[in-house]
Structure 1
């Protein structure tokens, strides 16, 4: 089983990535639209993907095609696996549905926001309701991952020895700050999904705030459009 793949991102196709590893072998890796979008500026650079190998049924089960799906973080991969436990959602449908950040989808489930879920590809009203019914109470672990999806966490940096998608101590601190900030905003009456978006935007700034109070101050500037 291929659990993780590191190589040069050669190309991004409509629903897949071409990743060239040492020895000249190139893998076609299926990826959610959100993942492909995050990697748009990384062609020609070394990336690491958390991967999942599976067999895709074709011709009503008469044949099977091996597939490799790839995700930027272990959280994204785990959420994909959770999403495929929902009745009526297979691997292909789950990949298409993950068009926004995992934390945002998880927040929509936690907030029972069927309208947002319906805005995802291939998710209608009935499927949205089923997702909420089956996964409500199971997504808390994904609600604090906004900081882990910030720009700059994708590409390997040989100078630092870090690997894309792996969580450093600084990343863990950022996630903790993000989680605390979101909880404060929710307690103040803000929608959880919108709070996640604001906090992610605040933490993506070059002069990244270093504590909850500074994050909240930045969020309210963003909210006010200043």
Structure 2
């Protein structure tokens, strides 16, 4: 299994990354919390990875920290939660906020994430409660880096929201609610996601 990837960031289009390792390009799907911490295209990156081997595909998921990867692995062990939903949860709130929601038994916060209904949120809280104690206090995420400049930051933020499962009208509303002149795509996306889980 592939546990870590180090190479050159060849392309970045949330939630997908392409990392060039000695001439071989690895397609990696990552949560926005990880993508925010990466440098510009062409920079060297190191990602912790989780590999899923299916009958019809081999999928690689990448994470900036062990806390993120550990939460991802815990989430996909939960009934009804697959890798796509696990990435959506990580993208929407990050590891520290998720464990806090579990400790606070905060169903209302979880159901604001796309794809998480009340039953799924309740199941997550029940199944993850015991694991939260084993996790201890989650590591505070590293300072967020730039996602990169786009011709219009709203386009990049909109594309990222759509990839997370938000509907076009909802993505537009979220961006319009927090948009200010001069905002970069990364700050805009973070603000939009924060507004969705308040």
TM-score, normalization by structure 2: 0.66
Give 1:139 deviation, angstroms: 1.7
Give the 5 Å matches for 1:91-130. 91-99=83-91, 100-130=93-123
TM-score, normalization by structure 1: 0.59
How far apart are the structure 1 equivalents of 2:88 and 2:60?
15
Give 1:29 deviation, angstroms: 0.4
Structure showing greater radius of gyration is: 1
Give 1:14 deviation, angstroms: 3.0
Q: CA RMSD in A?
A: 1.7
Q: Determine the structure 2 residue equivalent to 1:159.
A: none
Contact 1:101-1:149 within 8 A present in 2 as well:
no
Contact 1:79-1:142 within 8 A present in 2 as well:
no
Indicate which of 46, 70, 75 corresponds to 1:78: 70
Give 1:78 deviation, angstroms: 1.0
Give the 5 Å matches for 1:64-213. 64-99=56-91, 100-140=93-133, 141=135, 143-146=137-140, 148-151=141-144
How far apart are the structure 1 equivalents of 2:27 and 2:46?
14
Structure 2: runs of 5+ lacking an equivalent:
146-198
SS at 2:130's partner residue? coil
Contact 1:8-1:44 within 8 A present in 2 as well:
yes
**1:118/1:38 Cα in 2 relative to 1: closer, same or farther (>3 Å)?**
farther
Which has the bigger relative contact order, CA under 8 A and spacing at least 6? 2
Contact 2:10-2:19 within 8 A present in 1 as well:
yes
Q: Determine the structure 1 residue equivalent to 2:161.
A: none
Q: Determine the structure 2 residue equivalent to 1:195.
A: none
Deviations 1:67-123 (A, max 9, x none): 011101112111111111111001222122211221111111111111111122311
Q: Does 1:38 align with 2:32?
A: no
Q: Does 1:21 align with 2:21?
A: yes
How far apart are the structure 2 equivalents of 1:143 and 1:101?
13
Q: How many residues align?
A: 143
Give 1:150 deviation, angstroms: 2.6
Give 1:142 deviation, angstroms: 5.6
How far apart are the structure 1 equivalents of 2:70 and 2:138?
14
SS at 1:143's partner residue? coil
Give 1:4 deviation, angstroms: 0.4
Structure 1: runs of 5+ lacking an equivalent:
57-62, 153-226
